């Protein structure tokens, strides 16, 4: 089977120590289970860990807004050659906004500028989903959606974020 530990960089250090032991040794102690004091990992078990910070306790670039726990080097070493970067699924975002191409363009441009100017903001897939829902279901205009998205940006951040390419 497959088990995903999502947001592993947000876990308590004690939990991670136990998980590290299970990954390294193929078993974990279950002291309250007297007849079988160890749970043995199945030979077909696949463990996946996901995080926003590579386990360093902070993100970089657009991910710099994520502050999490710093993961122990021994734990990170379990995945040293098995790391993958997964970016936003722009095909999915395009599909979500297929009836609203102006929203897709506005948010894609906003994301590019947030990255270009290293702003401490995130333009995630949620912005595309929620923006489309508001424009289709609540009759929001593109302008109103963008005002909502930008509501917590400073004037200087807005100036950079809304620059035309």
Q: What is the pLDDT of residues 32-90, one digit of tens each?
A: 999 999 999 999 999 888 887 766 655 555 445 555 667 778 777 877 778 888 889 99
Average predicted confidence (pLDDT) for the chain:
87
DSSP string for the chain: -EEEETTGGGS-HHHHHHHHHHHHHSEEE-TT-SS--EEEPPTT-EEEE--SSTTEEE--GGGGG-EEEEPPHHHHHTTTT--------HHHHHHHTTT-HHHHHHHHHHHHHHHHTT-S----HHHHHHHHHHHHHS---HHHHHHHHTTTS-HHHHHHHT---
Q: For the chain, what are the domain ranges?
A: 2-77, 90-161
């Amino acid at each position: 089977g497959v088990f995903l530990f999502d947001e592993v960089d947000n876990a308590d250090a004690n939990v991670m120590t136990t998980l590290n032991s299970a990954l390294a040794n193929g078993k974990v102690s279950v002291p309250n289970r007297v007849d079988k004091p160890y749970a043995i990992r199945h030979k077909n078990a696949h463990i996946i860990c996901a995080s926003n910070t590579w386990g360093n306790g902070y993100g970089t670039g657009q991910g710099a807004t994520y502050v999490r726990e710093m993961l122990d080097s021994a734990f990170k070493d379990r995945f040293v050659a098995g790391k993958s970067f997964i970016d936003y699924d722009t095909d999915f975002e395009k599909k979500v906004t297929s009836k609203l191409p102006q929203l897709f363009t506005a948010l894609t441009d906003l994301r590019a500028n947030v990255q270009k100017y290293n702003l401490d903001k995130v333009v995630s897939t949620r912005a595309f989903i929620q923006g489309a829902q508001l424009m289709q279901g609540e009759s929001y205009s593109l302008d109103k959606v963008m005002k909502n998205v930008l509501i917590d940006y400073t004037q200087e951040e807005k100036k950079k974020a809304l620059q035309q390419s």
